[in-house]
Amino acid sequence: MTSASSSSTHADPAANSFQVDLRGLVDLLSHHLYSSPRVYVRELLQNAVDAVTARQALDPEAEIRIRLSASAGRVTIEDSGIGLTAAEAHSLLATIGRSSKRGGDHGLETTRREFLGQFGIGLLACFVVARQIRVITRSARDPQAAPVEWLATDDGSYTVRELPEDARREPGTTVILQARPGAEEWTVPAKVEQLARDYGSLLPYDITFTEGESGGEGSGGGEPRGITDRPAVWDRPFPTPAARRVALAGHCAQLFGFTPLDSIDLDLPVAGVRGVAYVLPEPTSPAHRAGHRVHLKGMLLTDHADNLLPDWAFFVRAVIDTDTLRPTASRENLYDDETLSAVREALGARVRAWLAELAASEPERLAAFLSVHHLGVKSLARHDAELLGLMLPWLPFETSEGSMSLQEFTAAHTEIHFTRTVEEFRQIAPIAAAHGLGVINAGYTYDADLLALLPTVRPDLKVTELDAGAVTERLDPVPTSAELALAPFLSTARTRLEAQGCDVVLRAFQPVSVPALYLDDRQARQERDRTAALDSADSLWSGILGALRGSAPRARLVLNHNNPLIRRISALPDEALTGTAVESLYGQALLMSQRPLRPADSTLLNRAFLGLLEWATHSTDSQEGQK
CA distance 465 to 471: 11
Query: What per-residue confidence (pLDDT) applies to 281?
Result: 93
pLDDT at residue 11 is higher than 70: no
CB 52 within 8 A of CB 63: no
Measure the N-to-C terminal CA separation of the chain; round to a whole number of Å.
131
> pLDDT of 12-51, one tens digit each?
565 554 556 666 666 666 555 666 788 899 989 999 999 9
Confidence band of 209 (pLDDT split at 50, 70, 90): very high
Query: What per-residue confidence (pLDDT) applies to 34?
Result: 67
Query: What per-residue confidence (pLDDT) applies to 420?
Result: 85
Exposure letters 415-445 (e unless 16+ CB within 10 A, then b)? ebbbbeeeebbbbbbbbbbbbebbbbbbbee
CA distance 382 to 442: 14
CA distance 17 to 98: 14
Phi, psi of 415 (to 5 degrees): -110, 115
State what percent of residues in the chain have pLDDT above 90.
38
Query: What per-residue confidence (pLDDT) applies to 122?
Result: 64
Q: 157-160 long-range contacts, Cβ below 8 Å, gap at least 24?
A: 158/93, 158/94, 160/86, 160/89, 160/90
CB 428 within 8 A of CB 401: no
> pLDDT of 258-281, one tens digit each?
999 999 999 999 889 999 999 999
Pairing assessment for the beta strands 299-305 and 292-296 based on DSSP bridges? antiparallel
User: For the ranges 69-83, 139-153, 594-608, which has the lowest average pLDDT?
Assistant: 594-608
Phi, psi of 84 (to 5 degrees): -135, 150
> pLDDT of 342-374, one tens digit each?
999 999 999 989 988 888 888 888 888 988 988
Query: What per-residue confidence (pLDDT) applies to 115?
Result: 42
DSSP secondary structure code for residue 185 in this structure: G
CA distance 577 to 612: 8
pLDDT at residue 166 is higher than 80: no
> pLDDT of 283-299, one tens digit each?
887 777 778 999 999 99
DSSP 160-175: EEE--GGG--SSEEEE
Query: What per-residue confidence (pLDDT) applies to 590?
Result: 85
Confidence band of 378 (pLDDT split at 50, 70, 90): confident
Q: Which helix (H) or strand (E) holds 399?
A: strand 396-399
